[in-house]
Amino acid sequence: MAPALLPCVEAGPGGDADGAVVLLHGLGANGHDFEPIVPMFGLPRVRFVFPHAPSRPVTINGGMVMPAWYDILALARPGGENAEQVRASSAQVDALLDREVARGVPASRIVLAGFSQGAALALHAGTRYPAGLAGILFLSGYEVRASAREAESSPRNRATPILFCHGRYDQVVPLAGGRMAYEAHATPAREALWREFPIGHEVSEDEIGVVRDWLHARLM
């Protein structure tokens, strides 16, 4: 049985879209987090979909209940994520991508994106999605379930372009975690780009400009 669709915030054309960006927020945030920057991307024919993560207890935050794609036992460390919840959330992301296809946007015109914990999930789900995507956008993230990468990766997304962006002074998700994810996915077959910025665990105007240009190259 397919998972229930997550509630989402949407921005973009009121009617048919000729592309889509599905962007997953970070831990403790919600789908409204990146909604205000949509006009800065200059993509009027692209639908932006911002799902809300379900609320659940998060171990590294003392068991506090908050929006989270999965429980975190230790941040950016092998096995520090709840693998079962990662797989369940990936299935929910797949359902959102399937809905975009059903609404007339081919997978080749969809970018899956995320910030922080959302970036970890976007990388996990995007590289395993059965149809080839336009790209994967990875902002201030890290890789989860890395040991299953080779066995589970989709042949259709082994060459999918990925843009990795990270703050040089990030004290939440260390730069090394993002860099490790980049190096694991920067294969000869894939256009993987690494960009770092003089910021912390956040998104800057310069970074938005780099993301805009990368999205234009894939969805304009």
Q: What is the pLDDT of residue 74?
A: 84
User: Is residue 170 flagged as an active site residue?
Assistant: yes
**pTM metric for this prediction:** 0.97
User: Is residue 33 flagged as an active site residue?
Assistant: no
The residue from 25, 33, 71, 116 that is catalytic is 116
Inter-residue contact 167 to 26 (CB < 8 Å): no
> Which stretches of the chain score pLDDT less than 70?
76
Q: What is the pLDDT of residue 78?
A: 72
Q: What is the pLDDT of residue 14?
A: 81
User: Is residue 213 flagged as an active site residue?
Assistant: no
The 10s digit of each residue's pLDDT in 152-193 is: 999 999 999 999 999 999 999 999 999 999 999 999 999 999
For residue 114, what are the CA distances in angstroms to 16, 135, 144, 151, 165? Answer: 24, 12, 13, 23, 11
CA 109/CA 101 separation, integer angstroms = 9
Q: How many CB atoms lie within 10 A of CB 39?
A: 10
